[in-house]
Amino acid sequence: MYHEQHGAPAVAPLAGFTVGVTAARRADELGALLQRRGAAVLHAPALRIVPLADDGELLAATKELIDNPPDVVVATTAIGFRGWVEAADGWGFGEELLACLRGVELLARGPKVKGAIRAAGLTEEWSPTSESMAEVLDRLLGEGVADRRVALQLHGEPLPGFVEALRVGGAEVVVVPVYRWMPPEDLAPLDRLLDAAVGRSLDAVTFTSAPAAASLFSRAEDRGMLPELLDALAHDVLPACVGPVTALPLQAVGLDTVQPDRFRLGPLVQLLCVELPSRARTLPVAGRRVEIRGHAVLVDGEVRPVPPAGMSLLNTLARRPGWVVSRADLLRALPGAGRDEHAVETAMARLRTALGVPNLIQTVVKRGYRLALDPAVDTKYADT
């Protein structure tokens, strides 16, 4: 329930914004958090998790560790650690694996992994405050890894830099592949999300794992639209990552991202509640406060949903508020309108109806249309 101001309910912070969700796990939870704050959500899992409970590679690694216990075990994800213990239990090696893990230096990458370790009746030796594998690596190299066996529970993808650094330091590294990330079986939702991002009908895209970001880029490259996607994410569609590890594939291609201080879904949503409204264009028009969001407009704090064609016209007018925009220029802003200027008049009539205040947009006879920017406002609003 949002606080009331001046006798009317406050607007939900994400009302009028559309947010893409690429998560495979906990997508429902993230989507519900976003919708509760007013966002429209477009969910498209960018990958799927393939468990390896029947995989010979995982079985062989587990047997090797039981027969020849390592000095250190690094647990990287809660789901991966639980899956490993459950798989071993299914093979009849559960108690032997737990006994092995009780006798080693057990490192946990973050709080969720610590929870999984303790739920198995074990205790971690140490966990980094940053949840960063780089900090785990620094600790191991600082202790010295020469002639030590280090087991690394992978989290869906290889960690070549991490493994290589340990091996250069003299360690014997045993990788434990509990599950793998794979492309989604149904690519249609991911394609819809890509089209929406490139078409600027998304305001933000959330990433909760590095493989999801890499998978999105891979699909965009397969479709020949990677440059367009990167341009959208660089200028118009906000990339929001749950933490610095997740952000690495985006930073590798030169994209700036936003990340919460605490690497959790709740703080990620709260960050969007601040970032997206702060990026919305707000103008004083015809004595009203008009805030232009992704698929809606707030008129004096009241949410007014606007159809896509209307938003295209409004955004075009708002680029130079108070200036006359010709029908020809507005026609170019309408997707699929062709050369029929009547399409502008039809879309404009629907836009005015959606806004509920017809005089926000003025018709300038034989010239075009303009936002009725309040006279007291100077030209600093133009071209912002």
First-to-last alpha carbon distance for the chain, in angstroms, is 34
Indicate the average pLDDT of the chain: 89
What is the CATH architecture of 50-180? 3-Layer(aba) Sandwich (3.40)
Least confident of 41-55, 331-345, 369-383: 369-383
pLDDT at position 132 is: 80
pLDDT digits (tens, 9 = 90+) for 32-85: 999 999 999 999 999 987 776 567 888 999 999 999 999 999 999 888 899 899
The pLDDT value given to residue 54: 60
Label residue 108 by pLDDT band (50, 70, 90).
very high
- Identical fold, 4-47+184-279 and 50-180: yes
Phi, psi of 179 (to 5 degrees): -155, 165
Please check the confidence at residue 260 and state whether its pLDDT lies above 50: yes
Length of the chain: 384
- Do 68 and 104 contact (CB within 8 A), yes or no? no
CATH number of 281-381: 1.10.10.10
Cα–Cα distance, 349 to 374 (Å, whole number): 22
pTM of the model: 0.74
Domain boundaries of the chain, sorted by first residue = 4-47+184-279, 50-180, 281-381
Whether the per-residue pLDDT at 112 is higher than 90: the answer is no
* Mean pLDDT in residue range 353-381: 82
CA dist list (Å): 136 to 142, 217, 243, 374, 380: 10, 28, 16, 57, 49
Region 4-47+184-279: CATH code: 3.40.50.10090
Share of the chain above pLDDT 70, in %: 92
- Which tokens in the block code for residue 147? 């002639």
What pLDDT is stored for residue 53 in this prediction? 57
Is residue 255 a contact partner of residue 234, using CB atoms and an 8 Å limit? yes
Alpha-carbon distance of 310 to 346, in angstroms, equals 10
Q: What local confidence, expressed as pLDDT, does residue 377 receive?
A: 53
Q: With 80 as the cut, is the pLDDT of residue 9 above it?
A: no
CA torsion 41-46-51-52 (nearest 10°) is: -170
- Are the beta carbons of 334 and 313 closer than 8 angstroms? yes
* Angstrom distance (rounded) from CA 356 to CA 286: 13
Residue with tokens 């939870």: 29
CB 116 within 8 A of CB 87: no
Separation between Cα atoms, residue 217 and residue 226, nearest integer Å: 6
What letter represents residue 265's amino acid?
L
- What's the rounded mean pLDDT across residues 92-120? 94
Rounded Cα distance, 168 and 178, in Å? 24
Q: What is the DSSP string of 226-245?
A: HHHHHHHHHHTSEEEESSHH
Residue 262 CA: distances (Å) to CA of 74, 88, 167, 349, 367: 22, 33, 32, 46, 52
**Rounded to 5 degrees, what are φ and ψ at 370?**
-150, 150
What is d(CA 127, CA 109) in angstroms, rounded to the nearest whole number? 6
Tokens 């009725």, residue?
372
C-alpha atoms less than 13 angstroms from C-alpha of 378 in its C-beta half-sphere: 1
Strands 72-75 and 149-153: parallel
User: What pLDDT score does 116 carry?
Assistant: 94
> pLDDT value at position 67?
96
Q: Region 359-383: what's the mean pLDDT?
A: 77
Determine the average pLDDT of the residues in 245-263.
90
Using one digit for the tens of pLDDT, what is the confidence trace for 159-215? 768 899 999 999 999 999 887 778 899 999 999 999 999 999 999 999 998 889 999
pLDDT of residue 1: 34
